[in-house]
């Protein structure tokens, strides 16, 4: 049985700060008390959750402050780090045979995807293809680099500490890394990939709620136009909502510069090229005619 402090705390942090070698502060003067109640460290990506967990477990020391531990604390990393890590690094999901995003992509390619699979994939559905396209453009074979899939916060820390050489990511993490002063863009996806996003609906919804969907589309288009006319106000609100610095929010928003396009032959042809690329990369097992997945009957105005 653990010997707890009079307050019942098993772990107590007193004015704990952590700074990187380059002087960037991750958190400062943090006080925290953890008792027997199940406790989660929750926050936006990049705020330092994994680093805080390592401090609590004693894997590294705080820059200032003290940490009391009245019970053994174990840190289970998302990146497996046993004695064979250098030769055969594995993530926790790979160790447990639960590589969720890749499994979701495989189910999508097989036509067996469930609604929650799209949540697992998130915005990462085309990262592997963008990497392959960038390698092709540079004249490099696919095995010229070693790929590891990590959450954005862990990857940002690994890049800052030199554990990895480069990070293939998306906004707002690109802008967040740039404005932190710890990274710069080597190659963007412009010209390598279309970057198109779509509003999707089921056949049943299109058949029974076409007017509602059309109204929704018009509202989205108007909201997008307003946001670019009021970039400062929109970026400030976005920074508050997603919890990133205002400078990063504004940079990624202005750089994105998206606009809505009607579904026409050019858009469908671009998506067909994507499907053909997926087939070549082995993500699709048979050719896909994308024309059946589009409905051009939703004008923007």
Q: Extract the tokens encoding 45.
A: 């990506």
Q: Extract the tokens encoding 50.
A: 């994994």
pLDDT of amino acid 272? 92
User: What are the residues whose beta carbons fall under 8 Å from the beta carbon of 107, sequence distance 6 or more?
Assistant: 113, 114, 117
Pairwise CA distance, residues 133 & 131, whole Å: 5
Pairwise CA distance, residues 232 & 254, whole Å: 10
Strand pairing class (79-80; 64-69): unpaired
pLDDT of amino acid 39? 85
Model's pTM, two decimal places? 0.49
pLDDT of amino acid 117? 62
Q: What is the pLDDT along the chain (301 residues), one digit of tens a residue?
A: 333 344 578 899 999 999 887 777 888 899 999 988 888 888 776 678 888 998 998 888 999 999 999 888 878 766 544 444 444 555 444 543 335 666 666 665 555 656 666 666 555 556 566 666 766 777 777 666 676 767 777 777 777 777 778 888 888 888 888 887 777 887 777 766 677 888 999 999 999 999 999 999 999 999 989 998 998 999 999 888 888 888 988 998 888 878 888 899 999 998 998 888 888 877 788 999 999 999 998 888 7
DSSP 257: -
pLDDT of amino acid 5? 46
pLDDT of amino acid 100? 63
For CA atoms 92, 97, 103, 106, the dihedral sign is positive
Please give the full DSSP string across 54-109, using - where no structure is assigned: HHHHTSS--SEEEEEESS------SEE-STTTTTS-EEHHHHTT--HHHHHHHHHH
CATH number of 203-293: 3.40.190.10
Evaluate whether 127 touches 141 at the Cβ level (below 8 Å).
no
Pairwise CA distance, residues 69 & 10, whole Å: 6
- How far are the Cα atoms of 53, 244, 260 from residue 177, in angstroms, in the given order? 21, 11, 27
For CATH 3.40.190.10, list the domain ranges present in the chain: 203-293
């Amino acid at each position: 049985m653990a010997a707890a402090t009079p307050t019942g705390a098993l772990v107590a942090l007193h004015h704990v700060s952590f700074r990187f070698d380059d002087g960037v502060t991750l958190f400062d003067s943090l006080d925290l008390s953890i008792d027997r109640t199940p406790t989660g460290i929750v926050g936006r990506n990049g705020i330092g959750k994994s680093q805080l967990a390592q401090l609590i477990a004693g894997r590294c020391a705080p820059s200032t402050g003290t940490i009391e531990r009245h019970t053994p604390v174990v840190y289970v990393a998302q990146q497996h780090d046993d004695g064979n890590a250098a030769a055969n690094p594995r993530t926790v999901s790979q160790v447990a045979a639960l590589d969720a995003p890749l499994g979701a992509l495989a189910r999508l390619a097989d036509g067996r995807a469930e609604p929650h699979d799209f949540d697992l994939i998130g915005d990462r559905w085309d990262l592997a293809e963008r990497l392959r396209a960038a390698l092709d453009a540079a004249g490099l074979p696919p095995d010229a680099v070693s790929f590891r899939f990590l959450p954005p916060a862990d990857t940002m820390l690994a890049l800052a500490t030199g554990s990895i050489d480069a990070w293939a990511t998306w906004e707002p993490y690109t802008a967040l890394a740039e404005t932190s002063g710890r990274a710069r863009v080597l190659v963007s996806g412009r010209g390598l990939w279309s970057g198109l996003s779509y509003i999707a609906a089921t056949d049943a919804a299109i058949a029974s709620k076409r007017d509602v969907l059309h109204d929704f589309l018009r509202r989205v288009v108007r909201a997008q136009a307003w946001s670019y006319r009021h970039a400062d106000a929109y970026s400030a609100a976005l920074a508050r909502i997603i919890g990133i610095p205002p400078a990063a929010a504004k940079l990624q928003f202005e750089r994105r510069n998206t606009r809505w396009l009607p579904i026409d032959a050019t858009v469908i042809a671009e998506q067909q090229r994507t499907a053909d690329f997926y087939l070549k990369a082995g993500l699709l097992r048979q050719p896909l005619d994308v024309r059946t997945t589009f409905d051009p009957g939703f004008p923007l105005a």
